[in-house]
Amino acid sequence: MQAVTNFTTYTPVAVSPLSPTSVLRVIGSGAVMLAIIFGFSSVASGQGGEEVVIRANYVDEETGERVPATGTAVSLVDENGEVVASGELGEDGSVALIAPGPGTYSAQIDESTLPEGVRLRNEGDNSREIELRAGESRGAIFALEQGEGGGGGGSAFFTNLIRLSFDGLKFGLIIAMCSIGLSLIFGTTGLVNFAHGELVTFGALMTLWFNGWMNVIPAAAIAVFLTGIFGLMNERVVWRPLRNRSTGLIAMLVISIGLSILLRYVMLYFAGGNQFFYNQFTPQKAIEWGPLLFVPRDLFVMGIALLSLVLVALAVMKTRTGKAMRAVADNRDLAESSGIDVQKVIQTVWIGGAGLAGLGGVLFGLDQGAVWDMGFELLLLMFAAVTLGGLGTAFGPLLGSIIVGLLVNVSTIQIGGTGLPTELKNIGALLVLVVILLVRPQGILGRRDRIG
């Protein structure tokens, strides 16, 4: 017997390699992104000048008009108790004290120099603790009134509570913008992406770069678009090949941590470690409206965040793509068997989620300034928000973010001159997160999984 081998019947099976066009497209996109990132180095001019604007006025009992406490002595004290700046309130009842640098300071008013017949509305309420970041301008307002005798502390507590709640709502909306993409990506792919914070930073720094040539609004629009493209590159170059190789979710989580560290320090290398501010919306005069104290920039940030979140909610609930996203998040296999292009849905989620993260970075940059690790600073709060609201849900991040933002800010309220230091303000949100995980692991809006 002679064994005969028919070589003509053997056909190698192709393993669906990338076409030359796809390879060139990926390389070209990467080159464009690297060219843009190299542009960070052009933003080397730091913007310093930390100051505290102190204001004090009272209402004249006879005329009902607001009168500035002109001539009242005020000072700025550092953490060591040393006076670093001092001055007197001007004709408009305010004065700007220049701080020697970033840090925590106490703005104090000298009660003995108040106009005759005028006192602090709340006895002993003669100082304000202020945390200054690089290039930041903060305000401190002291409530005065005519008359003799000591005032209660309830009014000051109520005023501080309202102001902190307002800031907490603004901060919560920013966190919601940053974290909703994180939740949707987890819902459709199961990936816990620790590199999501770098998408936030990327959007803020891209806006900063383009803001050198144009107004911040078109610069932000371009930056959000580029952040969406950057998210698509993450999906096509890193995460889709890993899913095709059936890489486990734990291994992908570890890879996302490494990717986060890599991207973060690439941004540090090109952007530098300074904190930068956009050319518009930075120097603004504070507005006092009842107990509230804010600048027009705050209303702009909150309005854009609310509008964007409403549009995202409508898109998820009403559009065909949104329904496909919810179907993939509920049951990927069933959605695929129903004719839904799962890969296309995941790609859309990555583009939209990255774009929202970039917009969140722009809003956070308008509020606090852009810095190389800003996304990493928000990362734990983003995870707390999405876990609290319901990881993988569409509306959970919004609810969780509002709760986290309020807790972070209100936890620093001063009661009787004592309160939680600003350095520990995140601890309240994380403690609530632990409690929620113990009581309701699926989150507020999440559904309990059935096993078996």
Is the sign of the CA dihedral 280, 284, 287, 291 positive or negative? positive
Same domain, 118 and 83: yes
pLDDT tens, 89-113? 888 888 888 888 888 888 889 888 8
- Other CB atoms within a 10 A radius of the CB of residue 447 amount to 11
Element (H, E) at 246: none
Same domain, 110 and 172: no
Same domain, 100 and 178: no
Counting as low any pLDDT under 50, the low residues of the chain are 1-48, 149-153, 450-452
pTM for the structure as a whole: 0.70
* Domain coverage including residue 122: 51-152
Please name the residue that has the structure tokens 């300071």: 105
Query: How far is Cα 187 from Cα 322, in angstroms, rounded to an integer?
Result: 13
pLDDT tens, 128-159? 888 777 766 777 888 787 765 444 445 567 87
Query: How far is Cα 266 from Cα 412, in angstroms, rounded to an integer?
Result: 34
Alpha helices in 194-248 (DSSP H): 196-210, 216-233, 240-244
Same domain, 56 and 181: no
Q: Is residue 158 part of a domain?
A: no
Domain termination site, one of 152, 185, 206 = 152
Query: How far is Cα 355 from Cα 351, in angstroms, rounded to an integer?
Result: 6
Q: Is residue 82 part of a domain?
A: yes
Q: Is residue 15 part of a domain?
A: no
Same domain, 84 and 206: no
- Under 8 Å CB-to-CB from 106, ≥6 apart: which residues? 76, 77, 78, 127, 128, 129, 130
Q: Is residue 35 part of a domain?
A: no
